[in-house]
A and B are shown apart, each in its own frame.
Chain A
Protein backbone atom coordinates (compact mmCIF):
# COMPACT_ATOMS: atom_id res chain seq x y z
CA UNK A 1 0.00 0.00 0.00
CA UNK A 2 2.79 2.39 0.91
CA UNK A 3 4.67 1.61 -2.28
CA UNK A 4 1.58 2.37 -4.41
CA UNK A 5 1.29 5.70 -2.66
CA UNK A 6 4.95 6.37 -3.37
CA UNK A 7 4.26 5.73 -7.04
CA UNK A 8 1.15 7.91 -7.19
CA UNK A 9 2.06 11.06 -5.32
CA UNK A 10 4.66 12.67 -7.66
CA UNK A 11 2.33 12.86 -10.71
CA UNK A 12 -0.56 13.83 -8.42
CA UNK A 13 1.40 16.75 -7.00
CA UNK A 14 2.43 17.77 -10.51
CA UNK A 15 -1.18 17.83 -11.71
CA UNK A 16 -2.36 19.83 -8.70
CA UNK A 17 0.51 22.27 -9.18
CA UNK A 18 -0.32 22.67 -12.88
CA UNK A 19 -4.01 23.33 -12.16
CA UNK A 20 -3.14 25.86 -9.45
CA UNK A 21 -0.81 27.79 -11.76
CA UNK A 22 -3.51 27.77 -14.43
CA UNK A 23 -6.20 29.03 -12.04
CA UNK A 24 -3.94 31.71 -10.54
CA UNK A 25 -2.63 33.06 -13.84
CA UNK A 26 -6.18 33.48 -15.14
CA UNK A 27 -7.18 35.72 -12.26
CA UNK A 28 -3.76 37.41 -12.15
CA UNK A 29 -3.55 38.31 -15.85
CA UNK A 30 -7.32 38.83 -16.31
CA UNK A 31 -7.68 36.36 -19.17
CA UNK A 32 -11.13 36.38 -20.75
CA UNK A 33 -12.96 33.13 -20.16
CA UNK A 34 -13.88 32.72 -23.86
CA UNK A 35 -10.15 32.52 -24.65
CA UNK A 36 -9.06 30.33 -21.77
CA UNK A 37 -11.51 29.24 -19.07
CA UNK A 38 -10.20 28.49 -15.59
CA UNK A 39 -10.22 24.91 -14.20
CA UNK A 40 -12.99 25.97 -11.84
CA UNK A 41 -15.14 27.20 -14.75
CA UNK A 42 -14.60 23.93 -16.59
CA UNK A 43 -15.56 21.87 -13.55
CA UNK A 44 -18.71 23.98 -13.03
CA UNK A 45 -19.71 23.61 -16.68
CA UNK A 46 -19.27 19.86 -16.72
CA UNK A 47 -21.60 19.35 -13.75
CA UNK A 48 -24.28 21.75 -14.99
CA UNK A 49 -24.67 19.89 -18.29
CA UNK A 50 -24.02 16.36 -17.08
CA UNK A 51 -26.94 14.46 -18.65
CA UNK A 52 -26.37 15.83 -22.16
CA UNK A 53 -22.66 15.13 -21.90
CA UNK A 54 -23.35 11.61 -20.69
CA UNK A 55 -25.30 10.77 -23.88
CA UNK A 56 -22.51 12.15 -26.07
CA UNK A 57 -19.88 10.30 -24.06
CA UNK A 58 -21.77 7.03 -24.37
CA UNK A 59 -22.03 7.49 -28.16
CA UNK A 60 -18.27 8.00 -28.46
CA UNK A 61 -17.55 5.14 -26.10
CA UNK A 62 -19.77 2.83 -28.13
CA UNK A 63 -17.99 3.80 -31.35
CA UNK A 64 -14.59 3.27 -29.69
CA UNK A 65 -15.56 -0.11 -28.28
CA UNK A 66 -16.68 -1.33 -31.70
CA UNK A 67 -13.76 0.13 -33.63
CA UNK A 68 -10.92 -0.72 -31.26
CA UNK A 69 -11.34 -4.53 -31.19
CA UNK A 70 -11.81 -4.59 -34.96
CA UNK A 71 -8.72 -2.43 -35.50
CA UNK A 72 -6.65 -4.53 -33.07
CA UNK A 73 -7.91 -7.72 -34.69
CA UNK A 74 -7.01 -6.49 -38.17
CA UNK A 75 -3.56 -5.47 -36.88
CA UNK A 76 -3.03 -8.93 -35.39
CA UNK A 77 -4.12 -10.71 -38.55
CA UNK A 78 -1.87 -8.51 -40.69
CA UNK A 79 1.08 -9.20 -38.35
CA UNK A 80 0.50 -12.96 -38.36
CA UNK A 81 0.16 -13.13 -42.14
CA UNK A 82 3.24 -11.03 -42.77
CA UNK A 83 5.21 -13.03 -40.20
CA UNK A 84 4.25 -16.44 -41.55
CA UNK A 85 4.68 -15.44 -45.21
CA UNK A 86 8.08 -13.74 -45.58
CA UNK A 87 7.50 -12.83 -49.24
CA UNK A 88 4.28 -11.04 -48.28
CA UNK A 89 6.21 -9.16 -45.62
CA UNK A 90 8.72 -7.93 -48.15
CA UNK A 91 5.96 -6.92 -50.56
CA UNK A 92 3.49 -5.24 -48.22
CA UNK A 93 5.51 -3.84 -45.33
CA UNK A 94 6.57 -0.65 -47.17
CA UNK A 95 2.98 -0.18 -48.31
CA UNK A 96 1.71 -0.39 -44.74
CA UNK A 97 4.21 2.21 -43.58
CA UNK A 98 3.20 4.41 -46.50
CA UNK A 99 -0.45 4.12 -45.47
CA UNK A 100 0.39 5.77 -42.15
CA UNK A 101 1.61 8.88 -43.93
CA UNK A 102 -1.92 9.62 -45.10
CA UNK A 103 -3.54 11.72 -42.34
CA UNK A 104 -6.76 10.14 -41.09
CA UNK A 105 -8.56 13.47 -41.25
CA UNK A 106 -7.89 13.58 -45.00
CA UNK A 107 -9.39 10.13 -45.49
CA UNK A 108 -12.64 11.02 -43.71
CA UNK A 109 -14.44 12.78 -46.58
CA UNK A 110 -13.46 9.97 -48.97
CA UNK A 111 -14.79 7.34 -46.59
CA UNK A 112 -18.10 9.20 -46.36
CA UNK A 113 -18.41 9.30 -50.15
CA UNK A 114 -17.73 5.57 -50.29
CA UNK A 115 -19.65 4.32 -47.28
CA UNK A 116 -22.25 6.98 -46.46
CA UNK A 117 -22.95 8.59 -43.08
CA UNK A 118 -23.61 5.43 -41.07
CA UNK A 119 -21.46 3.43 -38.72
CA UNK A 120 -19.29 1.81 -41.40
CA UNK A 121 -17.06 4.76 -42.44
CA UNK A 122 -16.37 5.57 -38.78
CA UNK A 123 -15.37 1.98 -38.02
CA UNK A 124 -13.13 1.95 -41.09
CA UNK A 125 -11.43 5.14 -39.94
CA UNK A 126 -10.80 3.82 -36.41
CA UNK A 127 -9.51 0.55 -37.84
CA UNK A 128 -7.10 2.46 -40.06
CA UNK A 129 -5.58 4.34 -37.12
CA UNK A 130 -5.63 1.35 -34.75
CA UNK A 131 -4.20 -1.50 -36.76
CA UNK A 132 -0.78 0.01 -37.41
CA UNK A 133 0.73 0.14 -33.88
CA UNK A 134 -0.59 -3.36 -33.19
CA UNK A 135 0.73 -4.78 -36.45
CA UNK A 136 4.20 -3.24 -36.09
CA UNK A 137 4.57 -4.21 -32.41
CA UNK A 138 3.33 -7.76 -33.01
CA UNK A 139 5.64 -8.26 -35.99
CA UNK A 140 8.60 -6.99 -34.00
CA UNK A 141 7.74 -9.27 -31.09
CA UNK A 142 7.24 -12.30 -33.30
CA UNK A 143 10.60 -11.97 -35.02
CA UNK A 144 12.64 -11.31 -31.87
CA UNK A 145 12.43 -14.62 -30.07
CA UNK A 146 15.40 -15.70 -28.03
CA UNK A 147 18.01 -17.36 -30.27
CA UNK A 148 18.99 -20.07 -27.77
CA UNK A 149 15.36 -21.08 -27.29
CA UNK A 150 14.93 -21.05 -31.07
CA UNK A 151 17.91 -23.38 -31.49
CA UNK A 152 16.53 -25.60 -28.76
CA UNK A 153 13.17 -25.87 -30.53
CA UNK A 154 14.80 -26.66 -33.87
CA UNK A 155 17.15 -29.28 -32.45
CA UNK A 156 14.25 -30.89 -30.61
CA UNK A 157 12.64 -31.30 -34.02
CA UNK A 158 9.83 -28.75 -33.61
CA UNK A 159 7.77 -28.03 -36.71
CA UNK A 160 7.28 -24.50 -38.00
CA UNK A 161 3.83 -24.42 -36.45
CA UNK A 162 5.14 -25.66 -33.09
CA UNK A 163 7.86 -23.01 -33.12
CA UNK A 164 5.18 -20.43 -33.82
CA UNK A 165 2.70 -21.48 -31.15
CA UNK A 166 5.11 -22.56 -28.42
CA UNK A 167 7.86 -19.95 -28.82
CA UNK A 168 7.20 -17.01 -31.13
CA UNK A 169 3.63 -16.26 -30.12
CA UNK A 170 4.11 -16.33 -26.32
CA UNK A 171 7.37 -14.40 -26.46
CA UNK A 172 5.73 -11.69 -28.59
CA UNK A 173 2.98 -10.95 -26.07
CA UNK A 174 4.77 -8.20 -24.07
CA UNK A 175 5.68 -6.37 -27.29
CA UNK A 176 2.17 -6.89 -28.60
CA UNK A 177 0.68 -5.25 -25.53
CA UNK A 178 2.74 -2.10 -25.92
CA UNK A 179 1.20 -1.79 -29.39
CA UNK A 180 -2.32 -2.46 -28.12
CA UNK A 181 -1.92 0.21 -25.42
CA UNK A 182 -0.97 2.81 -28.03
CA UNK A 183 -3.80 1.78 -30.29
CA UNK A 184 -6.29 2.04 -27.40
CA UNK A 185 -5.62 5.76 -27.11
CA UNK A 186 -5.60 6.10 -30.90
CA UNK A 187 -9.04 4.46 -30.98
CA UNK A 188 -10.59 7.22 -28.84
CA UNK A 189 -8.94 9.85 -31.01
CA UNK A 190 -10.12 8.05 -34.15
CA UNK A 191 -13.70 7.99 -32.84
CA UNK A 192 -13.66 11.74 -32.17
CA UNK A 193 -12.23 12.50 -35.61
CA UNK A 194 -14.85 10.24 -37.18
CA UNK A 195 -17.57 12.20 -35.39
CA UNK A 196 -16.17 15.46 -36.70
CA UNK A 197 -16.57 14.21 -40.21
CA UNK A 198 -20.19 13.21 -39.99
CA UNK A 199 -22.30 12.41 -36.96
CA UNK A 200 -25.29 13.66 -35.00
CA UNK A 201 -24.04 12.66 -31.57
CA UNK A 202 -20.82 11.97 -29.72
CA UNK A 203 -18.05 14.04 -28.17
CA UNK A 204 -16.64 14.96 -31.58
CA UNK A 205 -20.01 16.26 -32.70
CA UNK A 206 -20.40 18.15 -29.39
CA UNK A 207 -17.01 19.83 -29.94
CA UNK A 208 -18.05 21.03 -33.40
CA UNK A 209 -21.24 22.54 -31.95
CA UNK A 210 -19.39 24.35 -29.15
CA UNK A 211 -16.71 25.60 -31.53
CA UNK A 212 -19.30 27.48 -33.60
CA UNK A 213 -20.72 28.94 -30.36
CA UNK A 214 -17.28 30.01 -29.06
CA UNK A 215 -17.87 28.00 -25.88
CA UNK A 216 -14.24 27.42 -24.94
CA UNK A 217 -15.19 26.08 -21.50
CA UNK A 218 -17.31 23.33 -23.09
CA UNK A 219 -14.48 22.47 -25.49
CA UNK A 220 -12.31 21.89 -22.47
CA UNK A 221 -14.96 19.69 -20.90
CA UNK A 222 -14.90 17.62 -24.09
CA UNK A 223 -11.10 17.38 -23.93
CA UNK A 224 -11.25 16.20 -20.33
CA UNK A 225 -13.77 13.52 -21.28
CA UNK A 226 -11.58 12.34 -24.17
CA UNK A 227 -8.55 12.14 -21.89
CA UNK A 228 -10.53 10.20 -19.27
CA UNK A 229 -11.87 7.76 -21.86
CA UNK A 230 -8.34 7.12 -23.16
CA UNK A 231 -7.01 6.64 -19.64
CA UNK A 232 -9.70 4.16 -18.66
CA UNK A 233 -9.18 2.12 -21.81
CA UNK A 234 -5.41 2.22 -21.28
CA UNK A 235 -5.78 1.08 -17.68
CA UNK A 236 -8.01 -1.85 -18.66
CA UNK A 237 -5.44 -3.00 -21.24
CA UNK A 238 -2.63 -2.59 -18.71
CA UNK A 239 -4.52 -4.75 -16.19
CA UNK A 240 -5.15 -7.39 -18.84
CA UNK A 241 -1.43 -7.36 -19.65
CA UNK A 242 -0.49 -7.75 -16.02
CA UNK A 243 -2.71 -10.80 -15.77
CA UNK A 244 -1.59 -12.38 -19.05
CA UNK A 245 2.13 -11.70 -18.63
CA UNK A 246 2.28 -12.74 -14.98
CA UNK A 247 5.24 -15.04 -15.81
CA UNK A 248 7.47 -12.02 -16.32
CA UNK A 249 9.80 -10.99 -13.50
CA UNK A 250 8.87 -7.66 -11.99
CA UNK A 251 11.41 -5.05 -12.90
CA UNK A 252 11.85 -3.49 -9.49
CA UNK A 253 12.18 -6.75 -7.53
Chain B
Protein backbone atom coordinates (compact mmCIF):
# COMPACT_ATOMS: atom_id res chain seq x y z
CA UNK B 1 0.00 0.00 0.00
CA UNK B 2 1.38 3.40 -0.89
CA UNK B 3 2.08 6.16 1.57
CA UNK B 4 -0.48 8.42 -0.11
CA UNK B 5 -3.46 6.14 0.38
CA UNK B 6 -2.53 5.62 4.01
CA UNK B 7 -2.47 9.34 4.63
CA UNK B 8 -5.77 9.66 2.79
CA UNK B 9 -7.33 7.02 5.01
CA UNK B 10 -6.15 8.81 8.08
CA UNK B 11 -7.63 12.11 6.98
CA UNK B 12 -11.02 10.56 6.24
CA UNK B 13 -10.93 8.96 9.69
CA UNK B 14 -10.17 12.31 11.21
CA UNK B 15 -13.23 13.78 9.57
CA UNK B 16 -15.53 10.91 10.40
CA UNK B 17 -14.73 10.60 14.12
CA UNK B 18 -14.38 13.73 16.18
CA UNK B 19 -12.42 11.87 18.87
CA UNK B 20 -9.48 11.23 16.56
CA UNK B 21 -8.57 14.91 16.77
CA UNK B 22 -8.04 14.81 20.48
CA UNK B 23 -6.11 11.54 20.76
CA UNK B 24 -4.67 9.27 18.08
CA UNK B 25 -5.34 5.54 18.53
CA UNK B 26 -3.25 3.71 21.13
CA UNK B 27 -2.33 1.25 18.40
CA UNK B 28 -2.78 1.43 14.69
CA UNK B 29 -1.54 -1.41 12.52
CA UNK B 30 -1.76 -0.67 8.81
CA UNK B 31 -1.16 -2.99 5.90
CA UNK B 32 1.08 -5.50 7.70
CA UNK B 33 2.32 -8.49 5.68
CA UNK B 34 4.87 -11.09 6.67
CA UNK B 35 6.34 -14.25 5.15
CA UNK B 36 8.85 -16.64 6.62
CA UNK B 37 11.28 -18.68 4.56
CA UNK B 38 12.04 -22.11 5.87
CA UNK B 39 14.15 -24.50 3.80
CA UNK B 40 13.60 -22.40 0.70
CA UNK B 41 9.83 -22.65 1.09
CA UNK B 42 8.14 -19.36 1.62
CA UNK B 43 5.12 -19.30 3.92
CA UNK B 44 2.90 -16.28 3.91
CA UNK B 45 1.83 -15.79 7.53
CA UNK B 46 0.07 -12.44 7.52
CA UNK B 47 -1.50 -10.71 4.56
CA UNK B 48 -2.35 -7.01 4.59
CA UNK B 49 -3.63 -6.80 8.16
CA UNK B 50 -4.88 -3.46 9.43
CA UNK B 51 -6.44 -2.95 12.83
CA UNK B 52 -6.81 -0.34 15.49
CA UNK B 53 -7.08 -0.02 19.25
CA UNK B 54 -8.46 3.34 20.36
CA UNK B 55 -7.44 4.82 23.69
CA UNK B 56 -8.90 2.82 26.58
CA UNK B 57 -10.47 0.29 24.28
CA UNK B 58 -10.56 -3.49 24.71
CA UNK B 59 -10.06 -5.18 21.34
CA UNK B 60 -9.91 -8.93 20.68
CA UNK B 61 -8.54 -11.05 17.89
CA UNK B 62 -10.09 -14.47 17.30
CA UNK B 63 -9.07 -16.91 14.63
CA UNK B 64 -8.11 -20.50 13.88
CA UNK B 65 -4.78 -21.72 15.24
CA UNK B 66 -1.83 -20.95 13.05
CA UNK B 67 -3.39 -17.77 11.65
CA UNK B 68 -0.38 -15.67 12.59
CA UNK B 69 -1.83 -14.02 15.67
CA UNK B 70 1.28 -14.61 17.72
CA UNK B 71 3.46 -13.36 14.87
CA UNK B 72 1.39 -10.19 14.84
CA UNK B 73 2.04 -9.76 18.55
CA UNK B 74 5.75 -10.32 18.07
CA UNK B 75 5.70 -7.63 15.40
CA UNK B 76 3.86 -5.14 17.58
CA UNK B 77 6.36 -5.94 20.33
CA UNK B 78 9.26 -5.28 17.97
CA UNK B 79 10.65 -8.84 17.95
CA UNK B 80 9.95 -9.37 14.25
CA UNK B 81 10.01 -6.80 11.47
CA UNK B 82 7.08 -6.82 9.02
CA UNK B 83 7.79 -7.16 5.29
CA UNK B 84 5.36 -4.37 4.58
CA UNK B 85 3.19 -1.99 6.55
CA UNK B 86 3.60 0.23 9.57
CA UNK B 87 2.75 0.14 13.27
CA UNK B 88 1.86 3.37 15.04
CA UNK B 89 1.27 3.96 18.72
CA UNK B 90 -0.29 7.23 19.82
CA UNK B 91 0.33 8.55 16.32
CA UNK B 92 4.07 7.79 16.38
CA UNK B 93 5.60 5.21 14.01
CA UNK B 94 7.14 2.46 16.16
CA UNK B 95 7.61 -0.34 13.60
CA UNK B 96 10.36 -2.67 14.88
CA UNK B 97 10.83 -0.77 18.13
CA UNK B 98 10.93 -2.66 21.41
CA UNK B 99 9.82 -1.57 24.82
CA UNK B 100 6.65 0.19 23.70
CA UNK B 101 4.10 -2.34 24.93
CA UNK B 102 3.29 -4.30 28.02
CA UNK B 103 3.01 -8.01 27.29
CA UNK B 104 1.37 -10.99 28.91
CA UNK B 105 2.32 -14.30 27.31
CA UNK B 106 0.30 -17.55 27.15
CA UNK B 107 2.28 -19.20 29.91
CA UNK B 108 2.66 -16.98 32.96
CA UNK B 109 6.46 -16.99 32.43
CA UNK B 110 7.10 -15.57 35.87
CA UNK B 111 10.80 -15.58 36.66
CA UNK B 112 11.19 -18.47 39.12
CA UNK B 113 14.08 -16.86 41.05
CA UNK B 114 12.12 -13.69 41.75
CA UNK B 115 9.52 -13.36 44.46
CA UNK B 116 6.00 -12.55 43.28
CA UNK B 117 6.49 -8.93 44.30
CA UNK B 118 9.76 -8.64 42.36
CA UNK B 119 8.16 -10.32 39.36
CA UNK B 120 5.34 -7.81 39.32
CA UNK B 121 7.85 -4.96 39.42
CA UNK B 122 10.00 -6.35 36.60
CA UNK B 123 8.67 -4.25 33.71
CA UNK B 124 9.16 -1.02 35.63
CA UNK B 125 12.65 -2.14 36.58
CA UNK B 126 13.55 -2.75 32.94
CA UNK B 127 12.30 0.69 31.94
CA UNK B 128 14.37 2.12 34.77
CA UNK B 129 11.26 3.84 36.04
CA UNK B 130 10.91 2.21 39.42
CA UNK B 131 9.65 5.03 41.61
CA UNK B 132 9.74 5.07 45.40
CA UNK B 133 6.07 4.22 45.70
CA UNK B 134 6.20 1.36 43.18
CA UNK B 135 6.78 -1.36 45.74
CA UNK B 136 3.99 -0.07 47.93
CA UNK B 137 1.67 0.13 44.92
CA UNK B 138 2.59 -3.42 43.89
CA UNK B 139 1.73 -4.66 47.38
CA UNK B 140 -1.64 -2.93 47.31
CA UNK B 141 -2.40 -4.46 43.92
CA UNK B 142 -1.35 -7.92 45.05
CA UNK B 143 -3.76 -7.61 47.95
CA UNK B 144 -6.47 -6.39 45.58
CA UNK B 145 -6.15 -9.47 43.34
CA UNK B 146 -6.14 -11.87 46.28
CA UNK B 147 -2.41 -12.52 46.43
CA UNK B 148 -1.76 -10.95 49.83
CA UNK B 149 0.54 -13.11 51.87
CA UNK B 150 2.27 -14.29 48.69
CA UNK B 151 4.39 -11.16 48.12
CA UNK B 152 7.59 -12.94 49.14
CA UNK B 153 6.62 -16.37 47.76
CA UNK B 154 8.31 -17.88 44.71
CA UNK B 155 6.13 -18.56 41.64
CA UNK B 156 6.21 -22.36 41.94
CA UNK B 157 4.35 -22.11 45.25
CA UNK B 158 1.30 -20.61 43.51
CA UNK B 159 -1.52 -22.34 41.64
CA UNK B 160 -1.95 -21.81 37.89
CA UNK B 161 -4.68 -19.22 38.31
CA UNK B 162 -2.70 -17.30 40.91
CA UNK B 163 0.38 -17.31 38.70
CA UNK B 164 -1.71 -15.98 35.85
CA UNK B 165 -3.04 -13.19 38.06
CA UNK B 166 0.53 -12.27 39.03
CA UNK B 167 1.54 -12.27 35.35
CA UNK B 168 -1.42 -10.03 34.60
CA UNK B 169 -0.38 -7.63 37.36
CA UNK B 170 3.11 -7.54 35.92
CA UNK B 171 1.60 -6.39 32.63
CA UNK B 172 -0.83 -3.99 34.30
CA UNK B 173 1.83 -2.27 36.41
CA UNK B 174 4.19 -1.87 33.46
CA UNK B 175 4.83 1.75 32.52
CA UNK B 176 3.63 1.17 28.93
CA UNK B 177 0.03 2.13 28.22
CA UNK B 178 -0.91 -0.56 25.66
CA UNK B 179 -1.33 -4.13 26.91
CA UNK B 180 -0.99 -7.16 24.65
CA UNK B 181 -2.58 -10.28 26.15
CA UNK B 182 -1.75 -13.47 24.25
CA UNK B 183 -4.36 -16.14 25.13
CA UNK B 184 -3.72 -15.54 28.81
CA UNK B 185 -6.28 -18.08 30.05
CA UNK B 186 -5.74 -20.91 27.57
CA UNK B 187 -3.70 -23.02 29.98
CA UNK B 188 -6.30 -22.87 32.77
CA UNK B 189 -9.10 -25.30 33.51
CA UNK B 190 -12.64 -24.25 32.57
CA UNK B 191 -13.74 -23.21 36.04
CA UNK B 192 -10.65 -21.10 36.78
CA UNK B 193 -10.93 -19.69 33.31
CA UNK B 194 -14.45 -18.31 33.67
CA UNK B 195 -13.50 -16.98 37.09
CA UNK B 196 -10.50 -15.20 35.58
CA UNK B 197 -12.64 -13.77 32.77
CA UNK B 198 -15.01 -12.17 35.24
CA UNK B 199 -12.07 -10.97 37.29
CA UNK B 200 -10.44 -9.37 34.24
CA UNK B 201 -13.72 -7.77 33.12
CA UNK B 202 -14.26 -6.14 36.48
CA UNK B 203 -10.66 -5.04 36.79
CA UNK B 204 -10.58 -3.58 33.31
CA UNK B 205 -13.82 -1.69 33.70
CA UNK B 206 -12.39 -0.07 36.82
CA UNK B 207 -8.98 0.71 35.30
CA UNK B 208 -9.46 1.29 31.60
CA UNK B 209 -6.35 0.53 29.63
CA UNK B 210 -5.87 0.03 25.91
CA UNK B 211 -5.85 -3.72 25.43
CA UNK B 212 -5.28 -6.03 22.48
CA UNK B 213 -6.36 -9.54 23.41
CA UNK B 214 -5.82 -12.80 21.55
CA UNK B 215 -8.18 -15.67 22.29
CA UNK B 216 -9.69 -18.84 20.89
CA UNK B 217 -12.74 -18.49 23.04
CA UNK B 218 -15.60 -16.61 21.38
CA UNK B 219 -17.62 -16.13 24.54
CA UNK B 220 -14.59 -14.69 26.27
CA UNK B 221 -14.05 -12.24 23.42
CA UNK B 222 -17.71 -11.15 23.38
CA UNK B 223 -17.84 -10.69 27.12
CA UNK B 224 -14.72 -8.54 27.33
CA UNK B 225 -14.32 -6.61 24.09
CA UNK B 226 -15.46 -3.40 22.49
CA UNK B 227 -14.49 -4.79 19.11
CA UNK B 228 -13.52 -8.19 17.71
CA UNK B 229 -11.40 -8.89 14.66
CA UNK B 230 -12.04 -12.31 13.12
CA UNK B 231 -8.93 -13.67 11.42
CA UNK B 232 -8.82 -16.07 8.49
CA UNK B 233 -6.61 -19.16 8.40
CA UNK B 234 -3.12 -18.91 6.98
CA UNK B 235 -2.18 -16.48 5.55
CA UNK B 236 -3.90 -14.50 8.27
CA UNK B 237 -6.01 -11.57 7.23
CA UNK B 238 -9.01 -9.86 8.74
CA UNK B 239 -12.29 -11.44 7.61
CA UNK B 240 -14.77 -9.57 9.75
CA UNK B 241 -14.83 -6.75 12.23
CA UNK B 242 -17.52 -7.00 14.88
CA UNK B 243 -18.43 -4.09 17.15
CA UNK B 244 -19.77 -5.51 20.39
CA UNK B 245 -22.80 -3.41 21.38
CA UNK B 246 -23.29 -4.32 25.04
CA UNK B 247 -23.09 -1.38 27.45
CA UNK B 248 -20.68 -1.26 30.35
CA UNK B 249 -20.35 -2.18 33.13
CA UNK B 250 -21.20 -5.62 31.81
CA UNK B 251 -22.53 -8.36 34.00
CA UNK B 252 -22.27 -12.05 33.56
CA UNK B 253 -25.98 -12.23 32.68
CA UNK B 254 -25.41 -10.76 29.21
CA UNK B 255 -24.08 -14.13 28.12
CA UNK B 256 -27.70 -15.36 28.25
CA UNK B 257 -29.20 -12.47 26.27
CA UNK B 258 -30.56 -13.30 22.78
CA UNK B 259 -28.32 -10.70 21.18
CA UNK B 260 -25.23 -12.22 22.76
CA UNK B 261 -26.23 -15.71 21.63
CA UNK B 262 -26.88 -14.48 18.12
CA UNK B 263 -23.45 -12.87 17.89
CA UNK B 264 -21.87 -15.95 19.39
CA UNK B 265 -23.56 -18.18 16.80
CA UNK B 266 -22.45 -15.90 13.98
CA UNK B 267 -18.84 -15.82 15.15
CA UNK B 268 -18.77 -19.58 15.74
CA UNK B 269 -19.98 -20.18 12.22
CA UNK B 270 -17.25 -17.97 10.75
CA UNK B 271 -14.65 -19.74 12.86
CA UNK B 272 -15.90 -23.17 11.83
CA UNK B 273 -15.77 -22.23 8.18
CA UNK B 274 -12.21 -20.99 8.51
CA UNK B 275 -11.13 -24.03 10.48
CA UNK B 276 -12.63 -26.30 7.82
CA UNK B 277 -10.86 -24.36 5.06
CA UNK B 278 -7.49 -24.56 6.77
CA UNK B 279 -7.88 -28.29 7.36
CA UNK B 280 -8.42 -29.03 3.69
Binding site for B on A (CB under 8 A): 146, 148-149, 151-158, 162, 166-167, 170-171, 173, 245-249
Contact = CB atoms under 8 A, between A and B. Distances in A.
Contacts of B101: 155
A158 B77 contact: no
Contacts of A154: 77-79, 98
B68 to A, nearest CB: 16
Contacts, number: 67
Contacts of A167: 111
A152 B105 contact: yes
B107 A247 contact: no
Given A148-B109, A151-B74, 20 more contacts: A149-B111, A151-B103, A152-B105, A153-B126, A154-B79, A155-B101, A156-B103, A156-B122, A156-B126, A156-B174, A157-B98, A157-B127, A158-B99, A162-B126, A170-B113, A171-B113, A247-B156, A248-B156, A249-B112, A249-B156
B10 to A, nearest CB: 26
A228 B4 CA distance: 79
B151 interface: no
Contact of B126 (A149, A158, A173, A247): A158
B159 to A, nearest CB: 13
A249 B110 CA distance: 14
Nearest to B106: A148
A249 B125 CA distance: 25
Nearest to A155: B77
A155 B111 contact: no
- Closest 8 interchain pairs by CB? A157-B99, A155-B77, A249-B156, A148-B109, A247-B154, A247-B113, A170-B113, A155-B103
Nearest to A149: B109
Contact of A247 (B98, B99, B100, B112): B112
Contacts of A162: 126
Contacts of B74: 151, 155
Interface of B: 74, 77-79, 98-103, 105-107, 109, 111-114, 122-123, 125-127, 154, 156, 174, 180
B42 to A, nearest CB: 24
A151 B76 CA distance: 12
A149 B98 CA distance: 15
Nearest to A167: B111
Given A149-B109, A249-B156, A155 B126 contact: no
Contact of B79 (A146, A151, A166, A173): A151
Nearest to B155: A247
Given A154-B77, A156-B102, A156-B103, A248 B112 contact: yes
A153 B102 CA distance: 10
A151 B180 CA distance: 13
A156 B99 contact: yes
Given A151-B79, A166-B126, A157 B111 contact: no
A117 to B, nearest CB: 46
Contacts of B127: 156-157
B112 A148 contact: no
Contacts of A248: 112, 156
Contacts of A170: 111, 113
A152 B174 CA distance: 12
Contacts of B100: 157
Contacts of B123: 156
20 contacts: A148-B106, A148-B107, A148-B109, A151-B105, A152-B103, A155-B78, A155-B101, A155-B103, A155-B180, A157-B99, A166-B111, A166-B125, A166-B126, A167-B111, A170-B111, A173-B113, A245-B113, A247-B156, A248-B112, A249-B156
Contacts of B126: 153, 156-158, 162, 166
Looking at B79, B106, B107, B126, the one whose CB has the most chain A CB atoms below 10 A away is: B126
Contacts of A146: 109
Nearest to B156: A249
A249 to B, nearest CB: 4
Contacts of A149: 109, 111
B109 A155 contact: no
A171 to B, nearest CB: 7
Contacts of A157: 78, 98-100, 126-127
Looking at A152, A154, A158, A173, the one whose CB has the most chain B CB atoms below 10 A away is: A152
